[in-house]
Chains A and B, each alone.
Chain A
Amino acid sequence: MQYITYLKANTVEDAVGKLHGAGDNAVILAGGTDLLVGFNSHSVDPSTTIVYIGEIETIKAIKETEAELLVGSMVTTTQLAESPVIGRYAGALQQAAQESAGPQVRNRATIGGNIATASPAGDLITALYALDASVTVVGTSGSVRMKIGEIITGVKRTSLSKDQMITEIIIPKKSPGSESAFEKIGKRKAMTISAASAACQVTLSKDQKSIAEIKVAVGAAAPTVVFAHGVEDALRGRAIDDQLVKDVSKLAAEVINPITDQRATKWYRQEVVPVLVYNTIMKAISQVQKAGGVA
């Protein structure tokens, strides 16, 4: 009987070398919470070479520079859920992490694995779109930086080649007067994959009376996470108005392309996405106002 090959990488360079050496059979193993579900449900091709990146110390930390948060690809969902720095500068990502899976999975699941899985229901991904995140990818041909939306190309598809790995996620620190929020809905409260989700980042004007800048992302309602540009355009520069936000959130239904699956029907997704969009926008606005001392 032939078995799979298991290789442990000690550094990013080591991982890339091992991936290159294994060619088409290479598979990166991070937390394993997506990969092992697959291994357990159908037998693994024995020619597979697993390259384990979980012992590479340089990709396990959350760091900050003056302008950016640098999140290593092996940072776990638990780390994101608990980190004060993530809470301060990337609220949507923290909320998405807190609402992902259950404690046992969160302790193992990683941000790099969430991106590379490229599920339209990836909660961290939805938040990363709204936060305008970029990703550093390292391969034999060097290191490239791209936007989160450029690496994810379709349902469970990325632009990564077999010898490339995600090493870092870069999130611009929000400006003062800005907050982000995330909300999801699923079949039950805990341990649920999103039937639909929304994340936004809102920057208010100095007087906190109008919306200066806004980004809105919707998850689990199209082949990839999508931006609701119609909602953004309709709110940019406008005075804060609950009814207006409610009305224009309906525009989000136009950019999604939902399917009916075991988690929700197409109709339900069309109805619920505007509600999630409205909720996250109002949540972000009220957080800015709270931080700025306006009731």
Chain B
Amino acid sequence: MKLTIRFKLNGKAVSAAITPEMTLLTVLKDVMLVNSVKRACVSGECGACTVIVDGKAMNACLILAMTIEDKNVETLENLGAPDRLHPLQKAFVEMGASQCGFCTPGFIMAAKAFLDENPDPTEEQIRVALSGNLCRCTGYVKPVKAVQQAIQEMKDIESGLTPVQAIQGAARIMQGHSAEELNIQIH
């Protein structure tokens, strides 16, 4: 018995023919062929399947797809493309916060949902926001730094610095120089 569900995927109204026991992870990955969403632990432990549902980060592996009817689902595909990366994507690349890359979409979606609600967090808050995601390659220092760099770039874009200037400044702050020393204004 196939059922049809309708929901919004990355801003577009979509429908999918599914069976009632499918998880959102199965529907996104195997029915909708969304590449960024990863299947790993299927028990809520690793965060590799993290998507944003109605503004909140959630594990797609723990959501029965039927419950997603009429909801807004956002995946990494909504953030950027190789030629115009989202500040979070760019920062993960530049900080070396992504190695094998398997965990990266999940980290970035967890960070995105968090920054949408808290644009100016402390380092401790960032750590808590990423605590539902596991990475077996980079450890947890670089992802936190990448989020900090992305925040800096988003602020700089808002304040009118060119993205290149902004990134250079942010990267130097990460390397231990203070903003005053570099004559950069942080808003």
Do A and B interact with each other, yes or no? yes
**A interface, CB within 8 angstroms of B:** 3-6, 8, 29, 31-33, 36-37, 39-41, 44, 50, 52, 54, 78, 101-105, 107-108, 189-191
Residues from chain B with a CB closer than 8 A to the CB of A189 are 131
Question: If A32-B62, A104-B59 touch, does A6 touch B43 (CB 8 Å cutoff)?
Answer: no
Q: What is the predominant secondary structure among interface residues of chain B facing chain A? A: mixed
CA distance A41 to B50 in the complex (A): 19
Set B61, B69, B131: member contacting A103, Cβ < 8 A: B131
- Chain A residue, CB-CB nearest to B49: A104
**Closest chain B CB from A217 CB (angstroms):** 25
Question: If A6-B66, A52-B64 touch, does A40 touch B43 (CB 8 Å cutoff)?
Answer: yes
Contact of A191 with B62 in the complex, beta carbons under 8 Å: no
Residues from chain A with a CB closer than 8 A to the CB of B110 are 103-104
Residues from chain A with a CB closer than 8 A to the CB of B50 are 104
Residues from chain A with a CB closer than 8 A to the CB of B59 are 104-105, 108
**Closest chain A CB from B50 CB (angstroms):** 6
Question: If A3-B1, A52-B67 touch, does A102 touch B131 (CB 8 Å cutoff)?
Answer: yes
Quick one: CB contact mask for B1-41 with A, threshold 8 Å, 1 for yes?
10100000000000000011101000000000000000000
Interface centre among A50, A78, A108 (most CB of B within 10 A): A108
- Chain B residue, CB-CB nearest to A108: B58
Query: What are 15 A-B contacts with C-beta separation under 8 Å?
Result: A3-B21, A6-B64, A8-B66, A36-B23, A36-B44, A36-B61, A37-B44, A50-B20, A103-B131, A104-B59, A105-B44, A107-B58, A108-B59, A108-B62, A190-B131
CA distance A29 to B66 in the complex (A): 11
Q: Which 7 A-B pairs have the closest CB atoms?
A: A102-B132, A190-B131, A6-B20, A107-B56, A36-B62, A40-B42, A104-B132
Contact of A107 with B44 in the complex, beta carbons under 8 Å: no
B92 at the interface (CB under 8 A from A): no
Q: Give the number of residue pairs across the A-B interface with Cβ within 8 Å.
A: 91
CA distance A108 to B67 in the complex (A): 12
CA distance A210 to B21 in the complex (A): 56
CA distance A107 to B19 in the complex (A): 25
Set A29, A40, A102: member contacting B61, Cβ < 8 A: A40
Contact of B67 with A101 in the complex, beta carbons under 8 Å: no
CA distance A50 to B56 in the complex (A): 24
CA distance A8 to B67 in the complex (A): 8
**Closest chain B CB from A38 CB (angstroms):** 10
Set A37, A50, A190: member contacting B62, Cβ < 8 A: A37
Contact of B20 with A4 in the complex, beta carbons under 8 Å: yes
**Closest chain B CB from A85 CB (angstroms):** 19
Residues from chain A with a CB closer than 8 A to the CB of B73 are none
B45 at the interface (CB under 8 A from A): yes
B57 at the interface (CB under 8 A from A): yes
Contact of B132 with A103 in the complex, beta carbons under 8 Å: yes
Set A32, A50, A101, A191: member contacting B63, Cβ < 8 A: A32
**Closest chain A CB from B122 CB (angstroms):** 15
CA distance A133 to B129 in the complex (A): 30
Residues from chain B with a CB closer than 8 A to the CB of A108 are 58-59, 62-63
